[in-house]
Amino acid sequence: MKTILNNPYRIVGLLVGATTKEQSKQISRLKKYIEAEQDPQDDFSFPALGEFHRTLESVEEAASKLNLDNDKINAALFWFWNGNPITDEAAFEALKSGDIETAYEIWDKLITKTDEEGKRFWKPVSEKNYSAFHNYSVLNIIRANGNLSNAIVASLYFLESDLVQKFVSSVTDETHKTNKKELQLLFLNQLHSDIEANKKSLLPKFLETLNKQEFIAKQDFMKGFVQKSIEQIEHKIETAKNKRKKSKATAAEAGQELFTATASDLAQLKSIVGASDLKYTS
């Protein structure tokens, strides 16, 4: 996912929550390395997640995206945060050494539990694991064998909790105001854009996962999909009507084309609103 691989925090090699002073020092350091045609191996860019090439231009562009609070929040939602040094730092060291699975296991143990029958459950979001929910989500989106559904659920659990304000305050100035709904919409809109641009095959799973969850921004986010599906179906119906009027001899063919062309849109609409919803039945 480019939202993670090309994240401004990754390009400058910093974790979410880095201070302005730390950012300035790191950027100066990076420029010296780049001018010497070298790349530091001890920052938080985690090459094991995917290769990338830093240039003076890319570093300066990334730095410019970490100046305003809104831009910082957008980037922070898709990068790692040291919210609990006791557990997070061990995971970061594993990522630095290329051991993605160890980092995953550290965060997974903090946020899930398994009962006697082997069923896995989410733990409540708490002071001890709230950053693990966030980091687990980011890693699960990008790791080769990651689970997108679990990544989405983990992030929404975190963004639905009151502890999310600790995340916001570590990223932005104290005067910056936002709320759970805005953060959830930022996360979901960015993730959806990335899926649409790079992995459209994941869209049905994305919607299916959201349908099963309850969160503050659900109605606001999903209504966009409902309207888009309806508009696409109605447009295809009008096209079929015009073809039928133009030539009665090919009316059956136009009907078959309409049936085929609207199948995926109808399936998506049904998955969002349900089979008994008036919008779907009509």
- Per mean pLDDT, which range of 123-127, 136-140, 205-209 is the poorest? 205-209
d(CA 1, CA 155): 16
C-beta separation of 45 from 8 below 8 A: no
DSSP readout, 10-58?
HHHT--BT--HHHHHHHHHHHHHHHHTT---SSSS--GGG------HHH
SS3 113: strand
Please compute, for residue 95, the number of CA atoms within 13 A of its CA located in the half-sphere on the CB side: 29
Confidence label for 183 from pLDDT (cuts 50, 70 and 90): very high
Q: What residues are paired with 120 via a beta bridge?
A: 114
Assess whether pLDDT exceeds 90 at residue 149. Answer: yes
The DSSP symbol for 124 reads P
Residue 5: which residues within 8 A CB-CB, separation 6 or more?
49, 50, 52, 142
Average pLDDT over every residue of 251-270: 81
What band does 201 get if pLDDT is binned at 50, 70 and 90? confident
Instruction: State percent of the chain over pLDDT 70.
Output: 99
| Least reliable range by pLDDT among 48-62, 78-92, 146-160, 242-256 | 242-256
In contact, 133 and 88? CB cutoff 8 Å = no
Q: Is 270 exposed, middle or buried (0-12, 13-18, 19+ CB in 10 A)?
A: middle
Indicate the average pLDDT of the chain: 89
User: Residue 167: its pLDDT value, please?
Assistant: 94
Q: What letter represents residue 38's amino acid?
A: Q
Higher pLDDT, 183 or 257: 183
